[in-house]
């Protein structure tokens, strides 16, 4: 073999080795890049559930709360209106099996439907304000600051009133229910007006306004019912 031919063969072999080395390097680079990309994706995926979990926790943690400032009048309004509403619901539930008049039955259902969510709202306020919920015994008005009527809150029924209503049936129940609920609603309106005058929390004052409007309308309705049921 000639010297020239031997040199050419050597040069060709060198080029093949160089190309192979370059191919190996490129493949290694691509592999490393893929691993880096995959690792980043896993990191992002692991972060996403954490963010979602935080949002979910915040959304699920919330009982209704009244934002902004509040004062003693706001606290007293919630603490007193809760048992006041609870007694109205107790009265409304007595209509089942006792009331004869269809309008009385419809009104009793409407009272329960409206006031039960308001109780939940006011309980949420007290929790968010760090204030105590009314004790079960306070339904007869033995909480501090209650000064309306014989039971301590405006319009609250006495034990005798509630017993008489439970014992009544038919038209007798219908008349007693309307008469007693008128007084009960008037008490709630008085309490709500006190809140609007003395409270500072915007949401509590708004609910007080809703109570005034709704219960005044029902008072008017029940006055007509009393006249009709005589």
**How is residue 208 written in tokens?**
């007080």
Select from 154, 158, 141 the least CA-distant residue to 187: 154
Site of tokens 């269809």: 102
Compute how many other C-beta atoms are within 10 angstroms of the C-beta atom of residue 54: 10
Compute how many other C-beta atoms are within 10 angstroms of the C-beta atom of residue 125: 25
Select from 179, 188, 175, 176 the least CA-distant residue to 215: 188
CA angle 114, 211, 129 (to 5 degrees): 90
Select from 99, 177, 62, 83 the least CA-distant residue to 132: 83
Is 6 exposed, middle or buried (CB count within 10 Å of its CB: 0-12, 13-18, 19+)?
exposed
Contacts of 228 (CB under 8 A, 6+ apart): none
**How is residue 22 written in tokens?**
């370059």
User: CA 221, CA 107: separation in Å to the nearest integer?
Assistant: 9
pTM listed for this prediction: 0.68
Tens of pLDDT along the chain (230 residues)?
A: 444 444 444 444 444 444 444 444 444 344 434 444 444 333 343 333 333 333 333 333 445 566 789 999 999 999 999 999 999 999 999 999 999 999 999 999 999 999 999 999 999 999 999 999 998 644 444 443 333 344 468 899 999 999 999 999 999 999 999 999 999 999 999 999 999 999 999 999 999 999 999 999 999 999 999 999 98
């Amino acid at each position: 073999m000639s010297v020239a031919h031997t040199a050419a063969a050597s040069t060709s072999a060198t080029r093949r080795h160089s190309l192979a080395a370059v191919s190996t390097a490129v493949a290694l680079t691509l592999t490393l890049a893929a691993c880096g990309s995959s690792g980043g994706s896993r990191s992002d995926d692991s972060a996403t559930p954490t963010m979602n979990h935080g949002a979910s926790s915040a959304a699920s943690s919330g009982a209704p709360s009244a934002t902004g400032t509040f004062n003693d009048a706001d606290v007293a309004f919630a603490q007193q209106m809760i048992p006041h509403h609870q007694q109205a619901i107790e009265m409304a539930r007595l209509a089942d099996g006792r009331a004869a008049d269809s309008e009385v039955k419809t009104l009793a259902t409407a009272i329960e439907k409206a006031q039960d969510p308001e109780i939940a709202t006011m309980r949420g306020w007290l929790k968010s304000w760090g204030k105590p919920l009314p004790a079960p015994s306070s339904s007869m008005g033995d909480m501090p600051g209650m000064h309306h009527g014989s039971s301590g809150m405006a319009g609250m029924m006495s034990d005798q009133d509630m017993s008489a209503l439970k014992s009544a049936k038919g038209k007798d129940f219908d008349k007693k229910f309307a008469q007693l609920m008128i007084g009960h609603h008037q008490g709630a309106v008085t309490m709500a007006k006190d809140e609007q005058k003395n409270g500072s929390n915007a949401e509590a004052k708004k609910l007080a306004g809703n109570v005034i409007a709704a219960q005044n309308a029902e008072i008017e309705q029940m006055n007509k019912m009393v006249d009709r049921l005589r």
